[in-house]
Amino acid sequence: MTDMKRKSIIYLSALATVIALSSITTYAQEIEVPEGYEYVDSLVYTRKASVDSTLVGKDIFRDMPSRIAGDPATVEVEQSELLEMSMRQHVLKNGARTLAGYRVRIFFDNKQSARHESEQTHNRFRAMYPDVAVYRTYTNPYFKVTVGDCRTKSEAMKLLARIKGNFSSAFVVKENIEFPLVDDQAAYTVDTIKVLRPVAKDF
């Protein structure tokens, strides 16, 4: 492909992007806001993947670097078909596997109002600690709210110390956990969306 042709393709792609964004902006401006309401910015937290998704759907045995694909070197794997088949079977059987670990329980009750209170506790925790996973479960006759995915008890104790001020009855429990996040320093991505809400009235 010539440089001129490549530049033309890049230019057309950029132009298409600008047109698309302009259309979105124009559409947003045309939306009619009902009387007594306004659009405000709201933050949306999306939990990051528990595993590195860059290799999802790829075959590590066939995705090695090669000069034919433009890589600087070729890597070849010499192994028996039995080993490759065993690896595939292992991946298929353990796709939804959990891990033994620890969590912190912040709610545990079976009284009549337990369903409602557990939901309130769940929502309150999510609002206060959006970077920590929270699970609401029911095991007859108890409603439970448990948080975190900690590999070790010391991790769970660290989480307990962090939230104890707001959830004084919290305690550490041993449970099967989801695989911890790949990047526990940035557990959530944050985005801004427009939300329609009633205009605040001054009294």
Asked if the peptide bond before residue 72 counts as cis, ω within 30 degrees of 0, the response is: no
Domain ranges across the chain? 3-31, 37-48+99-203, 53-93
pLDDT tens digits for 111-139? Answer: 999 999 999 999 999 999 988 999 999 99
Provide CB contacts within 8 A for 118, sequence distance 6+: 107, 109, 136, 143, 144, 145
pLDDT tens digits for 167-178? Answer: 999 999 999 888
For 37-48+99-203, CATH number out of 1.20.1250.20, 1.10.1740.10, 3.30.70.1070, 3.40.50.970 equals: 3.30.70.1070
Q: Low-confidence residues of the chain, pLDDT below 50? A: 4-28, 53
Instruction: Give the pLDDT of residue 27.
Output: 45
